[in-house]
Structure 1
Amino acid sequence: METITRSAGRALGTTLSDPLDLGGSPRSTVLRCRTADGGTVVLKAFADEEGALRAFAAEAAGLALGLGGPDLLAALPDEDRPILVMTDLGTAPTLADLLLGDDPDAVRDALLAWARGLGALGAASVDRRREFEASALRYARTALPIWSLDPWQARNAASLPELLEAAGLAVEPGLAGELAAIGTAGGADYPAFTPGDTCPDNNLITAGGLRLIDFETCGYQSVFLTAAYCRMPFSTCWCVFDLPADLADAAERAYRAEVVGRYPRLADDTVWEAGIRQAVAVWTVDATVRLLARSAEDRPLHRTRRPVATVRQLLVHRWRQAAGLTEYPAFAATMRGLLDRVAAAWDVPPLPGYPALSKR
């Protein structure tokens, strides 16, 4: 901590003291420090390994856009552990805190603020992709591309057939062609910036509105891939329970209303529905590839937060949703096969509702 605070203090021209560990991850250490004038800043120091280094480049470039997150006060790519120095957004609750709480009105307000905020961020960023990618290249400390430039969708599609066979399912004729058609869910036509891991715990619901945190996987992707977080809900997250359809619809409309000003074709319901259903397929493949091999023993989706769903509950929920994507018959049949051959043996209860919304 001393080395991190000393380096960050030199960059700010002040002395930093009283570092408080805010958690972080295996990739990073996050500290809140006091400045000489009595204020506070947040430091994020990244490990010296490839995954962490590409996360640093993405987060530095994303925060430099100045859209929706904390202000970037300094970026130190040349330290032994690269460091970001940010404004301190305080200790406001996250959307996850509210969803697991007991105030349904607060959840609705926060969910809509979250969706509008993501949409506004996407709309404001449309013309700044070149700036972001140049900045990410400037901060790069590894040849590994930032996550948004990594071909993860194609890799997932290539991995799925082998996983299906390992689970005892025959690969449906035509599945490979459908996965290629699903592709990246309209990303070439409707790209916008996203923090990447746009989960309920990666934000703060402050008195001044939504502020987003954790830009380690930020970048440009299809607006549909972000909008799908409203419908599924929360495509890559641990905080997944059954979201009432009216709230999911309201959140999706709030997001769409922001981005349609930059992409007028998205006002066409046919275009919108086709794109978001593609995105649901993309994220379902992602969840299946990430979690199926780890589902031999069911486990909670988060180490410490409770209540929380299990890996198997989440997969069953995703497969049931995707089984309705009948425009992709081989894909839908694959989802039904997973339900009939894999989920039936698990016999797990369906996802419950969010605790706060059970009081509606």
Structure 2
Amino acid sequence: MWSQLPFGERLKAELGSPRRVRRLSSSPRSRVWRAELSGTPVVVKQLVGGPGAADGYAREAAALQIASRVDPPVVPKLLGTDPGERVLVLEHVDRQKPCEGWVVDYADALARLHAAAVADTVGSLPTWSGPPLDDIGSFLRLARTLGVVLPSGVRTELEGLVDRLAGAPGHALLHGDPCPGNDMHTSEGVRFIDFEQAALGSGITELAYLRIGFPTCWCATAPAPELLDAAESAYRSAWRTATGTEVPGDLTDACAGWLLRGDALVQRAERGVTDRLGELPDRDWEWGTATARQRLVHRLGVVSRMTAEGGGLSRLGQLAAAMRESMLTRWPALQPLPAQRP
């Protein structure tokens, strides 16, 4: 194990020699070890494999540095780096089982993470990208396959949505994949890890995770309405305290954007290779806590309810409601997403 730990002379000079090294489980994109430096436990993480490793390392290092200004902390402390080996040395944080109603603490910490980015961080990370125009065509083709008549003007409405999301205000520090499992619940609050997809953009993009069912995550859940309201309120309050402003952006737009993304129906390694919405009529597939059809039915329901009182996405709301009804008629055994109990 000693020979495998990528802890070079530069890190040894800065931090000392590691002892009691133990390999930990991790994703295929990284290798992770627990070690001790002068008797203090640390985590050593190396980004490995594939053309995206260097980009993932740069994003994670930059995000951790930006987030380090938040107090109380929302990330483990970054103790050292070795860019040549794509290695990060992090404070070891004792993870605890999330408490009941954990999404409230999660939302509070997420807002404070987002608020860490200020004007001087612009350019330190890539800008978040919304759904591409191609997703509109995939979504509308799925509607036709489901036998749903497209409302007049819905494509124009969706093109406007994509344009708004592309120009959404804000330079919040976005985690990029703020899923349960990438949040560590501790006695001192929630801390986020694994920032390989970090970006700058509108924080409401990730606030939408709670309502739309954690779209990039294996563990899709649906919080109870009262818990969802409490979590969104906690986010807005924490953002207001940190920035002195109201949360910018439109939550309905953010949720509708996640509805369009077919790639948000599969895990990261399977994205960008095929039209996932186009596959749904012929097959369903499991990913974590739910199937692709379950996830889409949930998202359709969320968007149809959020647009029910009119506004700039009323046609999309009508279409979403009709698509959801068609899916439940075709596949009546589909179950709701697992509930996140208070």
Q: Render the CA deviation track for 1:157-188: whole Å, top value 9, x for unaligned.
A: 46534555666666654333222322354854
Q: How many matched pairs?
A: 317
The equivalent of 1:32 in structure 2 is 34
The equivalent of 1:220 in structure 2 is 200
Q: 2:320 aligns with which of 326, 332, 335?
A: 335
- Structure 1 or 2: more helix by fraction: 1
Which residue identity is paired with 1:74? Answer: G
Q: 1:198 aligns with which of 148, 156, 178?
A: 178
**Within 1, Cα distance between the matches of 2:234 and 2:143?**
36
Q: 1:290 and 1:165, CA in 2 relative to 1: closer, same or farther beyond 3 A?
A: farther
The equivalent of 1:7 in structure 2 is 7
Contact 1:4–1:45 (CA under 8 A) maintained in structure 2: no
Q: Render the CA deviation track for 1:205-239: whole Å, top value 9, x for unaligned.
A: 11111111111111212122122123334343232
Q: Does 1:179 align with 2:158?
A: yes
Which residue identity is paired with 1:244? Answer: A
Contact 2:265–2:295 (CA under 8 A) maintained in structure 1: no
| Partner SS for 1:351 | coil
Which residue identity is paired with 2:29? Answer: R
Q: Does 1:107 align with 2:88?
A: no
TM-score by length of 2: 0.80
Shift of 1:282: 0.8
Shift of 1:323: 2.0
Which residue identity is paired with 1:316? Answer: V
The equivalent of 1:89 in structure 2 is 93
RMSD of equivalent CA atoms: 3.0
Q: 1:257 aligns with which of 195, 217, 237?
A: 237
Q: Render the CA deviation track for 1:273-321: whole Å, top value 9, x for unaligned.
A: xx1111110111125764535645444322xxxxx23332222111111
Contact 1:112–1:254 (CA under 8 A) maintained in structure 2: yes
Q: 1:149 and 1:339, CA in 2 relative to 1: closer, same or farther beyond 3 A?
A: closer
Which residue identity is paired with 1:34? Answer: E
- The percentage of aligned residue pairs carrying the same residue is 28
Shift of 1:153: 4.5
Which residue identity is paired with 1:179? Answer: L
The equivalent of 1:70 in structure 2 is 76
The equivalent of 1:312 in structure 2 is 293
**Within 2, Cα distance between the matches of 1:20 and 1:157?**
47
TM-score by length of 1: 0.76
Contact 1:41–1:88 (CA under 8 A) maintained in structure 2: yes
| Partner SS for 1:200 | coil
| Partner SS for 1:124 | coil
**Within 2, Cα distance between the matches of 1:43 and 1:202?**
16
Q: Does 1:16 align with 2:18?
A: yes
Shift of 1:204: 1.2
Q: 1:151 and 1:282, CA in 2 relative to 1: closer, same or farther beyond 3 A?
A: closer
**Within 2, Cα distance between the matches of 1:74 and 1:151?**
33
Q: Does 1:234 align with 2:191?
A: no
Contact 1:115–1:255 (CA under 8 A) maintained in structure 2: yes
Contact 1:160–1:289 (CA under 8 A) maintained in structure 2: no
**Within 2, Cα distance between the matches of 1:279 and 1:47?**
32
**Within 2, Cα distance between the matches of 1:127 and 1:111?**
29
Shift of 1:329: 3.2
Which residue identity is paired with 1:58? Answer: R
**Within 2, Cα distance between the matches of 1:8 and 1:167?**
57
**Within 1, Cα distance between the matches of 2:62 and 2:232?**
27
| Partner SS for 2:261 | helix
Q: Does 1:45 align with 2:46?
A: yes
The equivalent of 1:285 in structure 2 is 260
Shift of 1:151: 5.5
Shift of 1:352: 3.8
Q: Render the CA deviation track for 1:126-165: whole Å, top value 9, x for unaligned.
A: 33432xx33x5xxxxxxxxx5x444554554465345556
| Partner SS for 2:223 | coil
**Within 2, Cα distance between the matches of 1:167 and 1:353?**
27
The equivalent of 2:117 in structure 1 is 125
